Amino acid sequence: MASLLLSKTFTLSKQKTISTEAQLRQAAKEALESDALLRWRWKAFELKRERGADALLELNVDGRRLVFEVEFKLSPSAREVERLAERGGTRPGLLIAPSLSEVLVQHCRERGLSCVDLNGRQWIRAEGVLVDRKPSEERRYRPSLLPPDVFQPKSSRLVRALLSQPERTWSQVELGERTGLSAGLVSRLVRHLVNEGFVARDNRALRVSRTDALLNAWAERDAWAKRTTVRQYSLLLTEPREIAARLKDFLGNEPHALTQWIAGWFRHPYTLPPVVTAYVSRFSDAAALEKKLLARRVEDGGRLWLVVPKDEGVLRETQNVDGFTLASDVQIYLDLLRAGQRGDEQAAELRKWPDFAGGRSA
């Protein structure tokens, strides 16, 4: 039987914080009963827990009737998705939550578990039926405790550390020491990464479990212009390695790290670097820079870019190649993706190189 595919944005009208399961139940009841496209009917709105489900919900699509065993979750995790998917029964399972990240929806897809959130996101897969509906552009429902944003400049220190050594096992204390983040923030970030299925926890040992998925999620959220301040300089020098060497001598012991094209070229040459880009902790004195490097600041077209990051975490994960300090491979990759001048090509070649991030499995 051919599957029925429905794809439509589903919009709700009220903005609410969902703090209890009772609120979640009522909001789900109102949302699904008012669905103009799909016909939902609660066969049992509340069940005793010993029956193994919270409710029974019927979906009628084009004459096909499907009954789902519903489980309500205020803040579902990847582990709970796996548990629900593995639960036996004659009826398919359906997860309902205030909001679902695309990562958790992908977990549901991979494990064949249908899911719905209050913002209109619906992934329903059952015999003869496939429903894939995107949420409304503006989130209108959310859990009472919002998860931390692991890709904000400061919080991303933890993700950067994990991805720079993806085969390593960490403790939370080690991650705190490595990143300089507080124990409380590390705990919240780790909990969220575990819940999303990016990181696996074995007792107190932590390790990245979905390396590519985590890097893809970061790349999708990354915004170079928002996390950096860039100054460009024109020079008489044209050879990239010589520019990098002069810059290294000029900066001396000041924290810095090459990135973008020049760093990709040092790590895994693919394109000639049109620009030498370096993260620095502060902008150098213009007169001293001009004297040492014969560099003049320009608005555009400079061969040298000095970059002060919004957070100094990019300077905590570095590597040494041929006597030069480079940003981590994952940072070089992110910085190249939307840089133009074939930066995306260099990024792709770097990422598929077997020694990317020290050599890692997918």
Phi, psi of 65 (to 5 degrees): -110, 125
CB contact set of 206 (below 8 Å; sequence gap of 6+): 169, 170, 171, 172, 175, 190, 194, 199, 200
Amino acid at 347: A
Integer Cα distance of 3 and 26 in angstroms: 30
pLDDT at residue 83 tops 80: yes
Structure tokens at 315: 């300077």
Confidence of residue 89 (pLDDT cuts 50, 70, 90): confident
- Verify that 92 and 28 share a domain, yes or no: yes
The predicted-structure confidence for 20-47, as pLDDT tens digits, reads as follows 999 999 999 999 998 888 899 999 888 7
Alpha-helical (H) ranges within 34-180 are 78-86, 102-111, 156-164, 172-179
Q: Within 145-285, where are the H helices?
A: 156-164, 172-179, 183-195, 211-221, 224-227, 240-251, 260-267
Residue at 139: amino acid letter: R
| Residues in contact with 115: Cβ distance below 8 Å, sequence separation at least 6, in sequence order | 81, 94, 95, 96, 97, 100, 104, 105, 108, 121, 122, 123
Same domain, 21 and 131: yes
Domain co-membership, 61 together with 96: yes
281/147: higher pLDDT? 281
- Residue 307 has what DSSP assignment? E
Beta bridge partners of 123: 115, 132
Single-letter residue type at 343: G
* pTM score, whole prediction: 0.82
Q: Do 161 and 209 lie in a common domain?
A: yes
Integer Cα distance of 17 and 253 in angstroms: 50
* CA distances, 183 to each of 165, 169, 196 (Å): 20, 18, 20
187/258 Cα distance (integer angstroms): 31
User: What's the pLDDT tens digit per position in 186-203?
Assistant: 999 999 999 999 999 998
% residues pLDDT > 90 (the chain): 75
Residue 349: what pLDDT?
97
Co-location of 14 and 112 in the same domain: yes
Domain termination site, one of 191, 221, 251:
221
Q: Which of 82, 114, 143 is the last residue of a domain?
A: 143
Mean pLDDT of 56-74: 90
| Nearest CA-CA partner of 357 in 114, 88, 149, 164 | 164
Assess if residue 124 is contained within a domain.
yes
Length in residues, the chain? 362
Q: How many domains does the chain have?
A: 3
**Domain for residue 41, yes or no?**
yes
Do residues 14 and 130 share a domain?
yes
126 versus 186: the higher-pLDDT residue is 186
In a domain, 362, yes or no: no
Q: For residue 143, what pLDDT is reported?
A: 75
Whether residue 249 sits in one domain with residue 203: no
Q: Mean pLDDT of all residues in the chain? A: 90
Q: Does residue 361 lie within any of the structural domains? A: no
**Placement of tokens 């000041």 in the chain:** 254
Same domain for 192 and 230? no
Mean pLDDT of 197-223: 95
* Same structural domain, 284 and 233: yes
Helices 156-164 & 183-195, crossing angle to 10 degrees?
70
Residue that is written with structure tokens 């090459």 in the block:
258
Higher pLDDT, residue 155 or 4: 155
Closest by CA to 120, choosing from 200, 35, 223, 203, is 35
The span from the CA of 289 to the CA of 295, in Å, is 6
- Cα separation, 222 vs 153, in Å, equals 9
Per DSSP, helices labelled H in the chain are 21-33, 78-86, 102-111, 156-164, 172-179, 183-195, 211-221, 224-227, 240-251, 260-267, 286-293, 329-337, 343-352
Shared domain for 215 and 131, answered yes or no, is no
pLDDT at 359 over 70: no
pLDDT at position 234, please?
95
Q: Reply yes or no on whether the pLDDT at 147 is more than 80.
A: yes
On the question of pLDDT at 335 being above 60, the answer is yes
In a domain, 148, yes or no: no
Assess whether 266 and 341 both reside in one domain: yes
Confidence of residue 139 (pLDDT cuts 50, 70, 90): low
Q: How confident is the model at residue 10 (pLDDT cuts 50, 70, 90)?
A: very low
Give the CATH number for residue 350: 3.30.460
Cβ atoms of residues 243 and 276 within 8 Å = yes
Name the pLDDT band for 142 (thresholds 50, 70, 90).
confident
pLDDT at 1: 41
Average pLDDT over residues 59-79: 90
- Band (pLDDT 50/70/90 cuts) for residue 88 is confident
Please say which residue of 111, 143, 175 terminates a domain. 143
Domain with 33, as residue range(s), is: 4-143
